[in-house]
Chain A
Amino acid sequence: MKDYDYIGIDRERNALERGMSSLLSQVFKRRRGADRALVNEVLEMVNEMISKLQAAMASPNKDKLLDGEFNKDSIFLGSEMNKDRTSIPLYFELDILIAALEKDYVKKFENPQPIISMLQALGALRDQAATLAFNSAFKPDEPISEAAMDDILATQGDFEVGRYEKNGMKFIGIAPTLVTEQVYYSNGEYLSGGRSSTSLGKKPLYEKDAQALREIQNQNLAKLHSAIGKYFEHDWDFVPTSAKFFDKLIDIDLDERLKKRLLAISYIKDKHPDNYEVAAIAAPIVEEIIEIEHQIQKEQEAALTRQTAINEARARYQEKSGFWKFFHRQMSPDKLNLDAMSTEEIDGLYKGKAR
């Protein structure tokens, strides 16, 4: 598995999406007046890619899809742009491709049915790739929220997962993809809009289920807000941008599994700032966070005790040390109060600024 980070993924994804859209627009401009032929050409290319992907998904080496190796075969329209970006997971690339195709093709033609069929196939492949990534990502660890995840996936279908590795620590993030945009009325219409690509191949979530789910998730979200807010001494709304949150996580002395969970929460919150459904994904994490909070509180108390202990021990030692005895003989001790001297003063002093 290649290493990549969420911030990087977002950045790369945005760049790819812009790049691919730009590429397709250029193709359109160059080929104005030949739309039918272009559609056929694109359909042929993408269908060939779908065949390759389907074969790859069925092969024993399908794990290679996660490594980006398959991407090197120039299977994507954007392959010229992303040939050096093989760290992008396959399902992201497929999602980008779907979005670009929808934007640049489906909306430009009166009868886009062939492309829609193709997009459905791509959507199914994307889900397969994401499932593969998810299973792979969580294989080495004990399941953290699989039960909740399964519930959500069963009704709402899609998710994103990614890994990050830095300084020898591995992180895993999970997030359902645009789940609020896939809430259906019982008659099959959308409760809310959103990118139609994400709805391809999804099971509908009926309104009564959605209401019940939302109710539970509101409760979970409140718990989550409270736990996260307490943990970081900030309001939930303040907690993540990803970058700040991630930087904070790297150096916090926490259990690695908790970091993974917090990163997942951060990622979810960033992607879905007002999405109550996603809180259900994070809800099982809350109890653990609370438990860890207690541990951290105990650790902080212990640290305070240790600091008090060394302050007292240092004072007793200094009373008897030759260094301080000499100094006290030379000078009036009340002229020197090291405890009152700030770092800046001492640093300024030795740099000559205080003279």
Chain B
Amino acid sequence: MEELNQAFGEYMEAYKALDIPSKRKEIINATKELIVVFEQLATKDNIELQYLRSREINDLKEENTTEDDFLEAELVYLEVAKNMIGQYLDKKL
């Protein structure tokens, strides 16, 4: 556990050094990892998941992303992840 905390601490230190756009990207990617992992777990277990959809994520593809855009997109990704996890666990357990 100590090793994990140390590695996480180093990760957080590296994160703190990033500029705001890079920090946003790191958060979005971390959420996407969660989505992808459960997507693949569901595929492996032959479980079909339903997905939330929202156009708010498209704003992230714009050149000049605002804080609003980021927060809205991040909420979409989080809710997608939560919904997927709920569906997966519901059918798995």
Contact = CB atoms under 8 A, between A and B. Distances in A.
Report if A and B associate in a common complex. yes
Interface of A: 250-251, 253, 303, 306-307, 309-310, 312-314, 316-317, 319-323, 327, 330-331, 335-336, 338, 341, 343, 346-347, 349-352, 355
A248 to B, nearest CB: 9
B27 interface: no
Nearest to A316: B7
Interface string B21-64: 01000100100111111011100100010111100010011011
B17 A320 contact: no
B4 interface: yes
B68 interface: no
Contact of A310 (B14, B50, B51, B61): B14
Contact of B11 (A314, A346, A350, A351): A314
Nearest to A251: B64
A348 B8 CA distance: 30
B20 to A, nearest CB: 9
The prevalent SS among residues of A at the interface is helix
Going nearest first, the 9 A-B pairs with the smallest beta carbon separation are A310-B14, A313-B14, A317-B11, A317-B7, A313-B11, A320-B4, A352-B51, A309-B14, A251-B64
A321 B84 CA distance: 21
Contact of A316 (B10, B34, B51, B64): B10
A304 B64 CA distance: 20
5 contacts: A307-B22, A310-B22, A316-B7, A331-B44, A335-B40
B22 A350 contact: no
B41 A310 contact: no
Contacts of A317: 4, 7-8, 10-11
B11 A349 contact: no
Contacts of A303: 19, 22
Contacts of B63: 251
A243 to B, nearest CB: 14
Question: Main secondary structure on chain B at its contact with chain A?
Answer: helix
Contact of A331 (B19, B41, B53, B84): B41
Of listed A312, A319, A343, residue having the most chain B CB within 10 A: A343
A330 B36 contact: no
A322 B3 CA distance: 12
Contacts of B52: 350
Nearest to B4: A320
B26 A320 contact: no
B22 A306 contact: yes
A346 B8 contact: no
B23 to A, nearest CB: 10
A24 B51 CA distance: 64
B75 interface: no
A306 B36 contact: no
A336 B15 contact: no
A327 B40 CA distance: 10
Contacts of B34: 323
A331 B45 CA distance: 11
B13 interface: yes
Contact of A349 (B3, B26, B36, B61): B36
Nearest to B5: A320
Contacts of A307: 18, 22
A314 B36 contact: no
B33 A338 contact: yes
Contacts of A331: 40-41, 44
A343 B37 CA distance: 15
A351 B52 CA distance: 7
B61 A316 contact: no
Contact of B17 (A306, A312, A338, A347): A306
B39 A350 contact: yes
Contact of B15 (A251, A310, A316): A310
Given A309-B14, A349-B36, 14 more contacts: A253-B19, A303-B19, A306-B22, A313-B7, A317-B7, A317-B8, A317-B11, A320-B3, A320-B4, A321-B4, A322-B4, A338-B36, A350-B39, A352-B51
